[in-house]
Structures are given as structure tokens and as C-alpha cells.
A and B are shown apart, each in its own frame.
Chain A
Amino acid sequence: MVATPVRTPAELALAARYPAERTLLPGTADVIAIRDAAFGGVEKSGLPHRRVEDWKYTDLRARLKTFPPAAGAGDVARVRIAAPAVEGDKARRLVIANGRYRPELSDLEDLEPGLSIFSLATALEAGDVAAVAALKLDDAIASNTAVALNTAFMTDGLVIGVANGVEIERPVELVHIAEGASAASTAVRHLVTVGKGARLTLIETIESLDKVAHHSNVMTVVDVGDGAKVDHIRLQLEPDEAVSMTSLVAKIGREANFDTFNAALGAGLARAQIFAEFAGRDSQAGFRGITMLGGRRHADTTLSLVHGAENCQSRELYKAVIDGEARSAFAGRIAVPAHAQKTDARMMTASLLLSEEAEADAKPELEIFADDVQCGHGATCGAIDEDLLFYLLSRGIPKAEAESMLILAFLGEAIDEIQNQAVHDALIHRVEGWLKTRAA
């Protein structure tokens, strides 16, 4: 017995938007077909609710009140003068404003040999075979609602390539900025290919210049070649009114090294998804992140990792600090197929509840079919340790300050894993700022 779902305002808005926009979005007939299939899936099942296991703790049907119209071009002048989120990282900044790549605002000087940067919209319009092929994803990923909405509505993004053996020293930073006084939505897709033995540090910042209910949907598909090393860091910094969805899809080759860090610092409703797979043996990967929440905010980190090859090692560490009436959710799944012997995976999630009204949910899941593996997971949840606090108080440190120190130490365990010093410092700076506001 399946009841006909009552459409929510957000679902109705989506249903009205897509048919009107589908042919105006970039891409040839092939791309439109991919978009149609993606949107068809969302339209059929509606927005996911708590009975859909993947969205158990983030009920989109209930939480997405509306789905705003597509963002306009925005005021480029305001974007141009916006202060950068990370100072001093000497990164090559590539600006994506209101869902459109802005080469005129981006730093494209002295492009290193072997590094290529193009607009996805241009590639799709031109029917670039590789770009169109890269839009196709495994069913399990493609059918995910946030991914499907991204596929249906994506307007632009970057196609970044690093040639085999090329080591790019200077970080590449994707700066996502939403500009506009009224709520709008954006969907951006990046395709990043890092060749064999190549190196790249990829930073993403997502922010909004106005305190309005923008919806952003950023998806990054990374292909880590054999022996390559990729460091990915994302700072999600939108205002409390915003809805932010991010998806990272990573395929990790043989003897490769991949690290990703997600700092969920903003948005009223944030969902960070990671779909990663070890495609070659003897590789290493780190998946880490912090979540800082206050007010009535909600943040969800969902990780799905397939340890698909032998002798790969992964470390997962996610920490959340939750204040006010906020709610943090973490769902991590590590799957080890039968052939992936010698897998070594350790997943840890810890939540610190700072108020009576805060809530933390965790679901660290393991799915193991190989017998010679080491997989562990841990989850903890609690308040600040009274003993630690007492120790600091007894040394004359005021309570608020002592709490801040302990919170910083708690998050620091994850933050200290960030290898890029400038980003590390910028993040610590933001955490300190958050703690100061909290203590005040």
C-alpha cells in the first residue's frame, strides 16, 4: 500500500522549475538526457524523509521549506572586492559566483605546465566527450537526492586536470560565492583528474555575501591517479539562513594518497556527503572533519567508503561540537569486499554536547566480507569532561576560557591533520572566533 505523496512546497517548486529550465541549462542532448534521468528519479520518489535510511537524520522533506529560483548573474563588483576566506595560502583562486565560473575574477596567471583549467559549462556545450562521460556515476551515487539535484540543475563548474607526474605546489582554491539580496539556488559540478604520480592541493570555500536563504549544491568528482597525492579541504562558511549541500566523489588509484577534510561551520541546514572508493591496492586515505553548531542549525556528514582493493589503509575522524538547540548527525559506512584482504580502516566519531537542548546522532557502520582485515570504529558522545574542567579551574582559569580551551583541544585533534598551514591557521582562527562569540 503506497500512499500518493502530498507534494511539499519545495517539491512543487522543483517540479515547476525543472521543465522550464532543462533546455536552457548548458549541455547537448546527451547531457539533457542525463539531467532528465536524474530529475525523474527525484520527482518519482519525492524528497527523502526520515524513513529513507540514507536520510534518517536529515529529513529533507520536512526541513526543506522551499526551493528558491536559480541564481541570477549577481553583482560582480561586490564579488570582486569580497575578502578571501583563507589569507596567506598563496592559492590560485578560481571564482564561481552564483553558480558561474568567472575567469575574469580568477587567478589564471602563470599557469603551471601540466595544469589545465576549463569551464564545465563550455565543455558540456561543446559536447566534450570526456566531460559528458564523467557526469555518469554509479547508480548508488547518481540516485542520491543531493547528487541527482546537482546533475539536474548544475550550471557550471571547473574541469581541472593535472598531467601525469606533474606536482602542483601552489594550492588551487575554488571560491564559491553567492551574491544577491533574495534567496536563490545554485548547483555546481567540478571534475578533477589528477594523473599518475601527480600532486594537487585542492581547497574549496563556500560562502555567501548576504544573510539570506540561499541554497547551494556543490559536487566535486576527483579521480586520483596511481601513485598520485591529493589533498582536499573544504570550508563551508555560509550564513545560518542558508542550505548547503556538498558531495565529494573520489576514486583512488593504486599506491595513491588522498586526504579530505570538511569543516562544516555554516548554513542552517548542511549536508556533506562523501562517496569514496579504493580502486587500486596499497593506497592510503584520510577522511576527517569538524562540525561546529549553534542556534537551531543542523549538520549532517555522510560518508560511504568502499575499500575495494587489497592492502589499503584509511583513517576516518569526525568531531562535532554542538551548542544551542542544534543537531549534528554522522553516518559513516565502510564496506570491505571479500577480495580486499589486509584492509586497515579505523573510523572514529566524537560529539561534544554543550547545551541541554543539543542533539548528536551517529551511525558508524561496517560491512565486512574479508577475513584478514583490521576494521574498527568508535563513537562517543558526551559533555565536557568535569575532571579536565576542574583541573583548569583549579589553576585559576575562568570557566568560559577553560571550556574554550577544551573545545579547541577536542577539535584540534582533527584540525591538526590538515597539512596546509595557511588553511590550518585560518580554521583555528575561525574556531577561536566562534568560541569567543560563544563565551561572550
Chain B
Amino acid sequence: MAAVKETVDQVLSIDVDKYKYGFVSDIESDLAPKGLNEDIVRFISAKKDEPEWLTEWRLEAFRRWQTMEEPTWARVDYPPIDFQDLHYYAAPKKTAGPKSLDEVDPALLETYKKLGIPLKEQEILAGVQKGERQVAVDAVFDSVSVVTTFKAELAKHGVIFCPISEAVKTHPELVKKYLGSVVPVSDNFYATLNSAVFSDGSFVYVPKGVRCPMELSTYFRINEKKTGQFERTLIIADEGAYVSYLEGCTAPSRDENQLHAAVVELIALDDAEIKYSTVQNWYPGDAEGKGGVFNFVTKRGDCRGKNSKISWTQVETGSAITWKYPSCILRGDNSRGEFYSIAISNGRQQVDSGTKMVHLGKNTSSKIISKGISAGRSNNTYRGLVSVGRKASGARNFTNCDSLLIGNKCGAHTVPYIESKNASAIVEHEATTSKISDDQMFYCLQRGLPQEEAIALIVNGFVKDVLQQLPMEFMVETQKLIGISLEGSVG
């Protein structure tokens, strides 16, 4: 079945040509010299005024990185990256760190205004948006975190939300304990590179039994030319804690490719829950594939405690190349992992994304819902692993990945890996819509809904609770996309 017109229009409306975050902000920057060597690593570490152990940690990662090879297994094709032709550190001048928003460079605030991100607390507290949910924002501009809002409010509940560079100084014991414990230094080429040169990112710690009172959010922006952005996010939910975190990203339209290699580590202890949502909208390059961000990201959550839960939601619309597999290690008994993804590619974008659910504990469960839509000359690949270990008795997985092609110059691919070592585990992978409960379907049909609409309704209801964590505009957009993406679905 070919895609219906409404679907086609919907996807074309988010065409790469219409990238609206492509402006460049004229802000004076502090740049590290181009290239990468031990001195640069030391330079970054010194800039951040880091303790000795972290400098050593970085250097060890750098030495390891030099012995590694770039991975080539993903279904993406790009010219070789010259890792020596990049700036590994760029920061807006005035790095002393603003005490309040008034001290922040007005040009920078202007940038965030353009991005539609209100950083000024008072506006949110007193202004037009009264009654809206409160969102604490950490804004990362090129390599440094420029402002974090609502810190005081969060501190009352004992929640730590600050740039990781600050956490290294204020909470070294936590950083030391958890940094690299989910994504080891030597995990993969890009994660190792990140470990060596990571500049900033967010750090979140939610103490025992605390339900984080508001959404936490980070906006990442690459501004400077020829820079790589390497942020590192570390989120720890202590026993019984809950936190929802949203990440958004944009970059200016530039002809050359920009490199983004982030590492995100999530740790959920007993009974804790972390929701991590991403709206990835890096510059995808122009319609001919010139420019755009190379997005090589390692994201992994560790359900370390029993009854813990980690849920990833991603809406991927940007980047020239996406190489991203948010994963869950289900270590604790009864822990749960979820992955909801909507990946839309257009122009000459190449997406290779998916997830890994590694079941290690007893009665662990995971759910994967992935929708890929490709248009133009893009390629969209779902690549996922569900693995059930020997001891993961009673593990349960359900995977559903649908893809939709618009036009015959694009490609949609599915590469699922299923590895089960436990007989009592039930693993299901399917790519058709027939597994929707017959009862629900019958109920809708019986009330006169056409089949397509009924499916859309059911699926939307299915993922709704996660989509609701996204900002309003994205939620609406995403909801529409889910509704339509079922039409003409192929595996």
C-alpha cells in the first residue's frame, strides 16, 4: 500500500530545506587549537579546572582511543572524518560563569529565544505561561553549560541539577562513583573519544524517595564552526526516585559537517524510574546532502536496582547521519526498559538507530516501539538487539517496528537481533499491525471507525503516556506522525 497524500504532505512539511534553527549566533568564543593530542586533553581538563583523577581518566581514554578503529558496521556512508581538523573545545567568552541571567550574553539569550526556549525563570513564573508545567533548563552552548534554571527550587528537594563540570567540583564522590560505570571508557570508538574530550553536559542526582518536582531539560546548541560537541550526561535516580528528563538539540546550517559525539549514562537504583526524552533536531544538511551534523551518540541506561525502570523516547528528525542506540541493561530483578522511537529522515539523511535491551535479571521486561519514516533520498535503519541472559528467567520482550517509505529513492531497513538463552523468556518481534489486541480492534470497528483510524487510535493511546512528556508542540506533531505512519507500513 502506498502512502496516502496526507502522510506525504506531513513529512514534506518537515523538509530539510525548512530547517528553522539554521541561524548562526555571533558570539565571541574561546576556542582550543585545532587537532587532538594529549596537550589538548590536558587543555580541556585545565579549562574545567578538573581534579587530577579526571585528567588521568581522560588521558587514559585518549590513549585507548588512539588504538581503536572507527566502526563501519552501521548502514551509513560518509566521507572520512579528519579528527585533527576539529576544535575540541569552544566556549562563549566570559567563562567565569554567570551568577544570574542578567550576566548572560544578550546575544546568547537571543539565540535561545529564537529556539523557543525560555530561560528566564520570572517569565515562566509570572508571565503568560502561568499554570504551565515548570521545566528546569540547562543550556549547553558549544562546549559549556551557560545557564541552569530553577536550581534553588530543585535544591529544596535535594535534587542536584547542574553542569557536569560543576558536579565534578561540588559532588566529586558521586561523579567518581558513577561516571563511566554504564558506558565504560573503552566501550566504543566515539564513547572513548567523548571520554577523552567531553566538555560539558548535565548532571542529575535525585536522592532516595524523591520524585523530582519538575521536568529537567537540557538544550544543546552547536554554534561555532569546525567544532565537535562532546557532551556527557549523567543521571542517577537513587532508591525510589523518579525523574523525567528532556533533551533538545539544534545547530546552525553550515556547509561543512559538524561532529557530535555524546555519551549519556543513566543509573536507576531500586524502585527508581528515569524517563529520558530526546527531540533531536540537529541541522540535517541541505537537500543535496551538503553539511549537517554527524550524530554519533552512545546512550545507555542501567536498571541497576530491583523494580527499576528506564524509558527512552526519541523523536529523531535532524542530523545528516544518526548513529544512536539508546539501550537498557536490565540488571535488577523485575526491572523494565522501554524504547519508543520515531525517526523521520528526508533529503539525504542517513539514520541508523535502534536500541539494545539486555535482560540479565529475573522477570525483567522490555518493550520496543519504533516507527521509521523515510522520504527523499534518505536511508532509515532500525537496528536493535534483544538479548536474554541465562539467569533472566521470566523475561519478556515485545518489539514492534514499522517503517514507511515515501518515494522510491529512499530506503527503510530493519536489522533486529534476537538472542535468547533462557527457555522461560518470551521474546516477540513483529513488524505487522496484526498483533494489536483483537478485542480493542473489534471495539473500535464496531463503533464505526475505519481500520486505519482504529489502529492509529490504539497505537496513540499505547504510547501516549510517554509522548505527553514531550513539550506540547512536539507532542502534537509526534502524535500526528504516529497516527499516519501506520498507513502503508512495511516491515
Contact = CB atoms under 8 A, between A and B. Distances in A.
Interface string B457-483: 000000000000000000000000000
B420 A374 contact: no
A353 B67 contact: no
B424 interface: yes
Contacts of B440: none
Given A363-B418, A366-B413, A378 B430 contact: yes
Contacts of B419: 359-362
Given A368-B403, A379-B427, A363 B415 contact: yes
B491 A376 contact: yes
Contacts of A353: 420, 422-423, 425
B414 interface: yes
A97 to B, nearest CB: 39
Contact of A360 (B69, B420, B431): B420
A376 B67 contact: no
B90 to A, nearest CB: 31
Interface residues of B, number: 40
Contacts of A339: 408
B418 A356 contact: no
B429 A379 contact: yes
B424 A383 contact: yes
B409 interface: yes
B73 interface: yes
Nearest to A333: B415
Given A381-B425, A381-B426, A338 B418 contact: no
Contact of A359 (B1, B420, B488, B491): B420
A370 interface: yes
Contacts of A355: 423
Contacts of B490: 366, 368, 373-376
A368 B425 contact: no
A369 B410 contact: yes
B442 interface: no
Q: Give the residue among B416, B421, B490 with the most A Cβ atoms within 10 A.
A: B490
B360 interface: no
A372 B422 CA distance: 39
A339 B409 CA distance: 10
B428 A380 contact: yes
B431 A377 contact: yes
Binding site secondary structure of chain A: strand
A69 B190 CA distance: 46
A371 B403 CA distance: 10
A351 interface: yes
A323 to B, nearest CB: 10
A368 B416 contact: no
B172 interface: no
A354 B409 CA distance: 45
B355 to A, nearest CB: 15
Contact of A376 (B69, B422, B431): B431
Given A372-B1, A374-B490, A367 B425 contact: no
Contacts of A262: none
B422 A356 contact: yes
B74 to A, nearest CB: 11
B431 A366 contact: yes
B21 to A, nearest CB: 29
Contact of B411 (A359, A364, A369, A378): A369
Nearest to A339: B408
B416 A364 contact: yes
Contacts of B140: none
Q: How large is the interface on A (under 10, 10 to 19, 20 to 34, 35 or more residues)?
A: 35 or more
B406 to A, nearest CB: 6
A15 B53 CA distance: 50
Contact of A338 (B1, B406, B408, B417): B408
A378 B429 contact: yes
B51 interface: no
B417 A361 contact: yes
Contact of B418 (A361, A366, A376): A361
A378 B390 CA distance: 23
A241 interface: no
B73 A358 contact: no
A53 interface: yes
Given A367-B411, A369-B411, A53 B73 contact: yes
A369 B380 CA distance: 10
Nearest to A374: B490
A381 B405 contact: no
A396 interface: no
A216 interface: no
Nearest to A53: B73
B37 interface: no
A354 B26 CA distance: 65
B407 interface: yes
A360 B3 CA distance: 36
Contacts of B422: 353, 356
Contact of A354 (B410, B412, B423, B491): B423
B410 A380 contact: no
A365 B430 contact: no
A252 B403 CA distance: 28
A339 B408 CA distance: 8
A382 interface: yes
B431 to A, nearest CB: 5
Contact of B420 (A338, A354, A367, A381): A381
Nearest to A359: B421
Contacts of B170: none
Interface in B110-164: none
Contacts of B413: 365-368
Interface of B: 1-3, 67, 69, 73, 388, 390, 403, 405-432, 488, 490-491
Given A366-B431, A368-B412, A382-B425, 12 more contacts: A1-B67, A353-B420, A362-B419, A363-B417, A366-B490, A371-B2, A372-B1, A372-B2, A372-B408, A378-B428, A378-B430, A379-B416
14 contacts: A357-B390, A359-B420, A359-B421, A361-B417, A362-B429, A363-B416, A365-B414, A365-B415, A365-B416, A371-B405, A371-B488, A380-B426, A381-B388, A382-B426
Q: 10 smallest A-B Cβ distances: which pairs?
A: A353-B423, A371-B405, A379-B429, A382-B426, A381-B427, A362-B418, A375-B491, A383-B423, A366-B491, A366-B414
